Structure formats: structure tokens, C-alpha cells
Amino acid sequence: MSTARTISVLPVTPGKIIAVHLSYSSRAAERGRRPSSPSYFFKPSSSLSASGEVVERPEGTELLAFEGEIALVIGTAARRVTREDAWDHIAWVTASNDWGLYDLRGNDKGSNVRNKGRDGYTPLGPQLIDARSVDPAALRVRTWLNGELVQQGETAGLIFPFAQIVADLSQHLTLEPGDVILTGTPAGASVAKPGDVVEVEVDAPDAAGTLTSGKLTSHVVAGHGGFDPEIGSLPSVDDRQREEAWGSREAAGLPAAAPALSPELRAKLVEAPVAALSQQLRKRGLDNVSIDGVRPTRPGTKLVGVAKTLRFVPNREDLFRSHAGGYNAQKRAFDEVCEGEVIVIEARGEAGSGTLGDVLALRALARGAAGVVTDGGVRDYAAVAGIDLPVFSKGPHPAVLGRRHVSWDTDLTIACGGATVQPGDFIVGDDDGVIVIPPSLAEEVANAALAQEAEDAWIAEQVAAGHPVEGLFPMNAQWREKYDAAKEAGDSNDRET
């Protein structure tokens, strides 16, 4: 039987290692979200290691991320302590590196058990700083990647001061002597590769004398041996995980994020018929933007949103066993969809199985999704039609996913109904069908479509008044002059009003 190691820097093996999710203002700004209160996760004591040891990136993975942090070591038991008394329960301060494997992050569903709990993923040290000798609001943590300074954070920039973290945790559990609290990382955390050396140091730059943890050094190496698909989930990454692991889309080598769908542009796309938008796209050389063969569960539905993609592959029994159980790609997509997004599903046009049902439709609705588009079938069709969520599909089918499909991955370029769809594309649908609009063209296309609609409405009025179609549709020079004059008169009236 293996036992947890006591590393030389600590007097005892900690019973608990508790890590804070997000605590520095700089990191919150980098992530684009600022928590209102601290939140935590546990790391096993078997993940402890010492300075100078190796950190393995397992075979078949790519996103091993470092996070330089300040570690607090509990000296005396703390249970329901106040902020004012909290620091008295801290014995030592030292450096830590909260290593994480983003390839397993999605499968962990927030627990971080596998992605941050691996052996060697919590190095500490190499020296302890007496907590009595420092001001907790005047500490600094720095991280170097291959000798280059990549992280620097001062505790003056914490969203949640150390005393608040200790007091909060002590409301819920007893902090015992030797327990370690990892207090979060500042901006600049990123990805390391085999051969890289990462160093972390904690110091008190304003204190008299030299108060430092020394440099905590980790050597990254390639691990050997992959993961057994018969006993657990496999590593999986997407562009969202790459962006978060590297710290930015640019650092991850990803293209710049697509323009946002503003409320003003969304209103234009809601007003513009799909047929008119399709016509304008074709005028600009885009004729292969229609998601063919899909219809709304409720006639009269208008769909406008930003694509979040989900891909199914043809069912293969061994792959279904390894990928379709538990918290699979399909469930992740519906659990992670953001407000205003449309889940677009690649089902290869295979309608002989459901690709979602009423439970997942309700989950998408609760998350604020703009809708779902699938070139496959829908289970619980009547129930889904009764949910206030635009859903476009090839029609009903009673079978479960495993009859035809394995849910495989998310947030990548897919094919749906014969159209290529990328995450961030704009999706618009109505009774005529669903189209994909490149974000860079959306404003121009929407304006042109609405202008064309106004023109077509005026032509319809002239036809209704008895004028022949010849020369009017499309308009010749004479009719164009009349239309421009009528439009100018209408604009003048609107300005006067």
C-alpha cells in the first residue's frame, strides 16, 4: 500500500490541501469574470512534491499548466475564527505551484480531482517563511518559465485577503495543524512543455532583511503510458480550454475572437428574413451557408444566436462505452452553453436517432441558450416543441443517441446539414430554414437585407395597385427613380415627426 509522502519543507504531512479557484484581480480580469465570494477545491496530499523534482505531462496530452501561488500552512487549529484572528492560525508561508492538466478539466466537472490531483502536481518550498515575520498584505509571488519572468502578483491585489479565506473555510470545516491552503494565482499562468523549467518564489520585498521561500523549481518531463478507455474518461481539449490554459487566444495560437453579436445587430437579424439574408450572402459570393433539411419544431419560430458546436461520430460499440457514458461531450455542451448561444450539432444528416430530448432542451433553456440546430433527430418531440426554445431538426425519432451516434467533442469546426459551422458563427433561422453568417459580414448583410425588404415591400404595393411586373421587378431606371423619390419623401416625413 502506498502512503502520502512528507516533503522535507513541511514538518508533517498535511491532512488537507485546499486551493482557491480565483483570488487575484489580475487573474479575474484575464479570465473575464470576477467572483463575489471565494470558492475552493481539494488536492490530495499524494500530489505533494519538493523543489527540484519532475512534473510529468502524460502521454497523449498537451495542456499542462503552471500556476505560481502563495501557500499558507496552518499552525494551530482554526474553527469558526474571525477575520481579525485568522492570521494567528497561520504558522508559515511558502511557494507552491498548482499544476493542472487541462486535458482532463472538462471531465472533472469542476472537482479538479484528476486534472490537479496527480502525483507531483503540488510542489511546495523550498523554505518556510515564519508568518509572524511578514505582513500578509505585503507578500509577492513570482514565476519564471525557462528563466523568463511570466507572473508577478502582490497580495495587495487580492480580491479576497488571506484572513477572509481562512475565516471563510473555518466556518465549514476545522483547519488542522499542517493543512495547506493554496491561495490562487495572479495573471500570467500558462502552459509548460517537456524540457521546460518553471520556478516560483514568494517573498516580502518591503520587509527588513531577506524573507523568501527561495525558488521552487519544477522540471517538466514527458510521461509514458496513456489512459485506459475501459476504466475512465480520456483526455480531451478544445479551443476554450486552450485559451484558458495558455491565458489568451493569442498565446494559444488561436485566431482572434469573432465580433460579438450586439443587441442592435441581433435586432436587425431578428427582423430580416432568412431568405433575404441568404440572397445578400450569395451576392457576396457565399452560396454554401444553408443548413439544409432542418425545420423548426414550432412553425413561426425565429432563431438568432452565436454557434456553439457539438460533433457526433458514427456509433462504434467500444467508443460508445469509452466516450458516451458519464459526463460526455453532449452533456458538457448543454451544461456549458452560454446565454445567446445556439448549440449546433453535427449528426451527419442521420435522422435515425435522437440527438437531444426534453431534458437537454430544458437545460439549454435554463442556461439562456438561443436555440438548438441539429441535422439529426429529436426525441420527445412534442415535449420539446412545447418548450420555449427554438429547435430546428430533421424531425422526430424515438431512439436514444447510441443507436447511431457517439458524442465526441465540442467547440470545433463541424459540418451540419451540408454547411460548415465554426464556433462563433452567427446562426439565423425561420420557417425557410437556417443559415450560417460569418460574423465579419453580419452587419453589412443585415443592413442590405433590410434595405432589400423595404424595396420589395414597396414593389409589392405597386403590384397590388395594378402595375405590371415588367420593368418593376426588378426595377428599371424609371421605377428606381420613383422608388428613390418615395423613399426620400418617407425619410423626410420621419425626420419631421
Rounded CA separation 482/486 (Å): 6
Query: What DSSP string describes 121-153?
Result: -EEE-S-PEEGGGS-GGG-EEEEEETTEEEEEE
Q: Which of 60, 78, 58 is nearest to 18 (CA)?
A: 78
Helix (H) or strand (E) holding 68: strand 68-74
Give the position of cell 507578500: 139
Instruction: Answer positive or negative: Cα dihedral of 408, 411, 416, 419.
Output: negative
Residues 419 and 291 sit within 8 Å (Cβ to Cβ): yes
Residues 125 and 69 sit within 8 Å (Cβ to Cβ): no
Residues 74 and 89 sit within 8 Å (Cβ to Cβ): yes
Rounded CA separation 318/323 (Å): 9
State yes or no: 380 annotated in a binding site. yes
Query: What DSSP string describes 320-362?
Result: HHHHSSSS-HHHHHHHHPPTTEEEEEE-TT--SSBS--HHHHH
Rounded CA separation 326/446 (Å): 42
Rounded CA separation 154/34 (Å): 17
Rounded CA separation 474/200 (Å): 71
State yes or no: 379 annotated in a binding site. yes
Q: Which of 282, 224, 277 is nearest to 450 (CA)?
A: 277
Q: Which of 296, 415, 420, 311 is nearest to 355 (CA)?
A: 311
Rounded CA separation 416/407 (Å): 15
Rounded to 5, what percent of the chain is helix, strand, coil? 30, 25, 40
Find out whether the peptide bond into 259 is cis, omega within 30 degrees of 0.
Answer: no
Strands 100-101 and 140-145, bridge-based pairing: unpaired
Give the position of cell 460548415: 420
State yes or no: 277 annotated in a binding site. no
State yes or no: 372 annotated in a binding site. no
Give the position of cell 482532463: 104
Task: Please report, in range form, the residues annotated as the binding site.
Answer: 357-360, 379-380
Task: Please report, in range form, the residues annotated as the binding site for substrate.
Answer: 357-360, 379
Task: Please report, in range form, the residues annotated as the binding site for Mg(2+).
Answer: 380
